[in-house]
Amino acid sequence: MTDNRETLLRVDHLCQYFNVGAGFETKAVDDVSFEIKKGEVFGLVGESGCGKTTTGRSIIRLYDITSGSVYFKGQRIAAGTRSYEDAIAKAKKDLAAATDASEKERLKKFIAEQKAEIKSAKRDHKHADPKLVTQIQMIFQDPIASLDPRMMVKDIIAEGLVIQGEKDKKKIEEKVYEMLELVGLVREHAARYPHEFSGGQRQRIGVARSVIMDPELIIADEPVSALDVSVQAQVINLLNDLRDRFGLTIMFIAHDLSVVKYFSDRIGVMYFGKMVELADSDELFAHPLHPYTKSLLSAIPLPDPIYEKARKRIVYNPLAEHDYTIDKPSLREVAPGHFVQCNNAEYERIKKELEA
Per-residue tens of pLDDT for the chain, all 356 residues: 456 778 999 999 999 999 988 778 999 999 999 999 999 999 999 888 899 999 999 999 999 999 999 999 999 999 999 999 999 999 999 999 888 899 999 999 999 999 999 999 999 999 999 889 999 999 988 878 888 999 999 999 999 888 888 888 899 999 999 999 988 889 999 999 999 988 888 888 998 999 999 899 999 998 877 677 777 788 888 888 888 888 899 999 988 787 888 889 999 999 999 999 999 999 999 999 999 999 998 888 878 788 788 888 888 988 888 888 889 999 999 999 999 999 999 999 999 888 87
Q: Is residue 64 helix, strand or coil?
A: coil
Q: Are 294 and 288 in contact (CB under 8 A)?
A: yes
Q: Helices marked H in the chain — which ranges?
A: 52-59, 82-97, 101-126, 130-134, 153-163, 169-182, 199-211, 229-246, 257-263, 281-286, 291-298, 305-310, 318-321, 344-355
pTM of the model: 0.89
Q: Which residues of 329-353 are buried (b: 16+ CB within 10 A; e: fewer)?
A: bebbebeeebbbbbbeebbeebeee
Q: Are 76 and 70 in contact (CB under 8 A)?
A: yes
Q: Is residue 332 helix, strand or coil?
A: strand
Q: How far apart are CA 60 and CA 41, in angstroms?
A: 17
In terms of Cβ atoms closer than 10 Å to its own Cβ (0-12, 13-18, 19+), residue 165 is: exposed
